[in-house]
Amino acid sequence: MHVLYVASPALTPTMARLPRLTVADQPHHILLTGNNRQAVFEDSADRQHFLELLVQEAAQARVALHAWVLLDSQLQILASPDDDKGIPRLMQGVGRRYVRAFNARHGRTGTLWEGRYKSTLIQAERHLLDAMVYMDTAPVRVGLVDQFTGYAWSTHDHYVGLRQDKAVTAHPVIWTLANTPFAREIAYAERVSAGLPPLVEAQLDQAARSGWALGDADYLAHLQWATDRRVSRAKVGRPRVKGRAPGP
């Protein structure tokens, strides 16, 4: 397991921020918000251009895009990189290119994003489907639409069989829903319609914003063994011993 943690520019002790943790072949839940909650998408043309840039940069950075949702002042992405530098490359590339295009199109200058993107690792077997449901229910939750189907700027309709998006790479956890594509589409639609308990929504949101990894004790222990950067608020596993990985 190769791990990269990306430090922030020099900060005073009172300003210290948790460096982002990125791990190859692991799903990352990524959050990017408009500065002062301003809109980062003014219309469909903005959203379409952002998705085009996202797909281009993901291919360059070798990042598999599992899911996304574009709201007015926020976007979320679920993705797995081929190497430990993929997520930073993706977000830096698409973020910079989109801001230039957005400012030029709308005759504005200056920052668009509220600081750096936020990202957390999630244990696929326990949390990936919940993260997808959290993202796919967001447009209804914030009042953009009144039903889950038909929203063009998320991957929901792809996973329920209403359209096909070649840019989407389904995570293998999706296959655990059912044995056939049609049955998986029905099962996922039912899962979205059922929604998530408020506590699970809060857990996913807090993890994404804080940068603490989300998973069970064994998952967190394996992550902790691979890096000196703490992966959770609570101490997980035994102290790291050089050359020895935690047991299964």
CATH for 142: 3.30.70.1290
Instruction: Please report where in the chains the tokens 């799903």 appear, as a residue.
Output: 27
Task: Establish if 26 belongs to a structural domain.
Answer: yes
Task: Establish if 244 belongs to a structural domain.
Answer: no
Condensed to tens digits (0 to 9), the pLDDT of residues 182-236 reads 999 999 999 999 999 999 999 999 999 988 999 999 999 888 887 777 788 755 5
pLDDT at 231 (0 to 100): 83
- Counting the structural domains of the chain, the total is 1
Task: Establish if 242 belongs to a structural domain.
Answer: no
Identify the domain containing residue 131 by its residue range. Answer: 3-226
Condensed to tens digits (0 to 9), the pLDDT of residues 1-32 reads 544 444 333 333 333 556 778 889 999 999 99
Task: Establish if 243 belongs to a structural domain.
Answer: no
Determine the Cα–Cα distance for residues 164 and 173; give it in Å rounded to an integer.
19
Task: Establish if 162 belongs to a structural domain.
Answer: yes
Task: Establish if 233 belongs to a structural domain.
Answer: no
Give the pLDDT mean for 82-108: 96
Counted residue by residue, the chain has a size of: 248
pLDDT at 248 (0 to 100): 47
Task: Establish if 239 belongs to a structural domain.
Answer: no
Give the pLDDT mean for 42-63: 98
